[in-house]
């Protein structure tokens, strides 16, 4: 999805004190770009994400279920591509239900729209939050 749109949405989420879900989404997205045949970098990145978002009491701890958290913390393979899928799934639901509606009527979206109308092709690309794709 469009990078500018994601940034606009992230600023909005930050302003509602709900930004950690979006930051987590972004970082898992980045993890998805690391090739599967580079397990060392994948593990390094996965550890970083766990320390920052998953561990209880982490600085940017995300709002996920006990079950999803435990599955990540007890995994035997940090390089596996689906490591964060369940957590991400829960968080996308959370973002949709909490932030989506308010975002469309926010000044953040207005500003994004204004800027995007100067690059009309981007506005067309931008789709509803309902189609937020899974990174990877």
- Chain residues binding another protein by CB under 8 A are 13, 16-18, 20-21, 56, 61-67, 69, 89, 92-99, 101-102, 130-132, 134
40/97 with CB nearer another protein: 97
Task: Give me 48's structure tokens.
Answer: 């970083």
74/120 with CB nearer another protein: 74
What is the gyration radius of the CA atoms in the chain, in angstroms? 16
Q: 96: helix, coil or strand? A: helix
55 Cβ contact partners less than 8 Å away, ≥ 6 residues apart: 61, 73
CB of 97 to another protein, least distance (A): 5
CB of 131 to another protein, least distance (A): 8
CB of 43 to another protein, least distance (A): 24
CB of 58 to another protein, least distance (A): 8
Quickly count helices (H) and strands (E) in the chain: 8, 0
93/117 with CB nearer another protein: 93
What is the rounded distance in angstroms from the CA atom of residue 61 to the CA atom of residue 101? Answer: 24
């Amino acid at each position: 999805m469009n990078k500018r749109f994601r940034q606009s949405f992230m600023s909005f989420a930050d302003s509602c004190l709900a930004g950690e879900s979006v930051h987590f989404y972004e970082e898992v997205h980045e993890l998805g770009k690391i090739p599967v045949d580079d397990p060392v970098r994948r593990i390094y990145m996965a550890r970083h994400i766990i320390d920052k978002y998953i561990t209880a009491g982490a600085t940017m701890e995300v709002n996920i279920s006990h079950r999803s958290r435990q599955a990540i913390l007890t995994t035997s393979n940090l390089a596996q591509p689906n490591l964060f899928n369940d957590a991400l799934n829960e968080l996308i639901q959370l973002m949709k239900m909490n932030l989506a509606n308010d975002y469309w009527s926010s000044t953040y979206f207005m500003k994004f729209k204004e800027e995007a109308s100067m690059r009309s092709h981007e506005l067309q690309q931008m789709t509803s939050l309902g189609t937020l794709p899974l990174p990877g």
